[in-house]
Structure 1
Amino acid sequence: MAELRELIRGLGWTDVRTYLQSGNAVFDVPPGSEGEERPRERLERAIAGHFGFEVHCLLRTQAELRAVADACPYPVAELDPAKLLVLFLEERPAPDHFDSLDPSTYAPDTFEVGDSAVYCYFPHGMGRSKLTDALSAVRPPLTMTGRNWRTVTKLLELTA
């Protein structure tokens, strides 16, 4: 993660912080430091050039991250944060994108689709759930990455 922080700083971005060994980073992109590429594309190119492999990055502004957290349909204060997963989506799904999934098939695990995220609750943990595989197998495919609620709230703290 130290290498990732240095790489991001090398792009001219500031206040770089990372969370655990998770690949999650929080940083500021000062005006004029973006270059000709969008920040996501610039970061992906820098990672590929430095580390030698391609990584698809999903970036969220502080406001976008806050909006995803605020839109969570589950009573977060009452749940184990390790059992609540947010799947951040790169693209907005069509209203019927997940209609092929019958929620009763995955009970007691549940999911709710938001504008830019899918919220999943696993009361018995994610380890044996078939829901995550089913969500990632929905077609057409969506670019997504999952973070448990503990990580989401920590990233929000880091942006404050």
Structure 2
Amino acid sequence: MNTYVALLRAVNLGSRGRLPMARLREIITGLGWGEVRTYLQSGNAVFTSAAADAAEVAEALRGALRGDGLDTEVMIRTGQQLAELGAAGHPFAADDSDPTHLQVAFPLAPVAVETVAAMPIPARERAQRWDGEIALHYPDGVGRSKLTTAHLQRHLGTPVTCRNWRTVAALAEWCA
């Protein structure tokens, strides 16, 4: 069995994209996958599947969600990928120990180092490609930043979903 992490984009933000986590667990279980756990209310799930292809897992889950009335991007990572991210620690953690100031953007499609390096970044904030993801640092808090998910998607050329470091570390621990 393979362990996967599903990170759903734009779930339970305001009144759009409503999806109770109990329903997400039902959908994942209905696909024949097991050991389903969800974290918080923002579309994070860890589960096991005999499927060996993460892209197939993503497409199956996205199709099931669409059939349930929710059309959103699904970023799938292997449990090993998340465990390795957690073990490595956030690249900006040495400069800021507040996990809410540290985010990870998970792109749908791979993004080149040069693309991230060329992205305009507001003063004091930082972004760098890191193990296929994008490490972000918001020293003044995410809510005050102009480096939004929409900004990231526009400059990276692919949908992304972001999670704070506390969430990433918790998911990584579940996968370790």
TM over 0.5: yes
In 1: Cα distance, 2:162 partner to 2:94 partner: 16
Q: CA deviation at 1:111?
A: 1.5
**Conservation of the 8 A alpha-carbon contact between 1:93 and 1:115:** no
Point out the structure with max Rg over C-alpha.
Answer: 1
RMSD: 2.4
Query: Which of 115, 123, 137 is 1:121 aligned to?
Result: 137
Q: Which residue of 1 aligns with 2:71?
A: 54
Q: Which residue of 1 aligns with 2:16?
A: none
In 2: Cα distance, 1:60 partner to 1:120 partner: 18
Q: Which residue of 1 aligns with 2:4?
A: none
Any unmatched runs of 5+ in structure 1?
none
Percent of counterpart pairs with the same letter?
Answer: 38
Q: Which residue of 2 aligns with 1:72?
A: 90
Q: CA deviation at 1:31?
A: 5.2
Is it true that 1:21 corresponds to 2:38 in the alignment? Answer: no
Give the alignment of 1:8-157 within 5 angstroms.
8-30=28-50, 38-50=56-68, 52-69=69-86, 70=88, 72-75=90-93, 79-103=97-121, 106-132=122-148, 133-138=150-155, 141-157=157-173
Q: State the Cα deviation string for residues 8-27 of structure 1 (Å, max 9, x = none).
A: 11111010000111110100
Length-normalised TM-score, structure 1: 0.83
* Amino acid aligned to 1:159: C
3-state SS in 2 of match to 1:15: strand
Task: Give the structure with the larger strand fraction.
Answer: 2
Alpha-carbon distance change, 39 to 17 in structure 1, aligned in 2, over 3 angstroms: same
Corresponding residue pairs, total: 153
In 1: Cα distance, 2:98 partner to 2:77 partner: 24
Alpha-carbon distance change, 55 to 107 in structure 1, aligned in 2, over 3 angstroms: same
Any unmatched runs of 5+ in structure 2?
1-20
Q: CA deviation at 1:89?
A: 1.6
* Amino acid aligned to 1:15: E
Alpha-carbon distance change, 94 to 77 in structure 1, aligned in 2, over 3 angstroms: closer
Q: CA deviation at 1:131?
A: 2.2
In 2: Cα distance, 1:44 partner to 1:63 partner: 21
